[in-house]
Amino acid sequence: MMRNFLTHARQRWYLYLPLALIWALAAARIFIDPVPHVPLLFNVTPSLPYTVAFIERRTGVIARGDYVIYAFGGAATRHFPGLARQPFFKRVAGIEGDQVRVEGRRVLVNGIDVGQAKLFAMAGKLPLEPIEPSVIPPHYFYMQGTSPDSFDSRYRISGLVHASDVIAVVHPIF
């Protein structure tokens, strides 16, 4: 059976070569370097309503409302080691000096509702605690997704994101 497949693959190499390249690139992205290096971002999660975005590698001031990619470095990496340094695509909902409040499990930044903290992570039964109420310190951001299931700064094990972890500003296309 394997011999038949190999013969078929050799005869129709032009069909299998693109698939092999896609799998090789996916493996490199997962195991070698998770940072996107092409100027387009393809979002496959429901955390934001955008599927395709343009990556602008600029330095400078990041403002509230900007969309960014950042390398995840939250405490959740102790429970999910595969998250370490993975790129996350979120919107900046809070900047230094903004006040983070928690009312029950509802999280607010400067009095604006930024989401309800769920009780458990989608993957397994890891309990999720809301972020600690605080003032966002210098060089940190509160990141937000629009989905109720988004894993963002509303959770203590995700937390605030340091400016050095921001990879790029992103402009949603659609």
Tell me the two tokens of residue 41.
Answer: 């971002």
In order along the chain (174 residues), what is the average pLDDT of each group of 10 residues? 87 87 72 72 84 80 95 89 88 98 97 95 83 98 94 96 94 90
Q: How far apart are CA 32 and CA 54, in angstroms?
A: 23
Can you tell me whether residue 141 is helix, strand or coil?
A: strand
| DSSP-assigned beta bridge partners for residue 161 | 141
**pTM of the entire predicted model:** 0.80
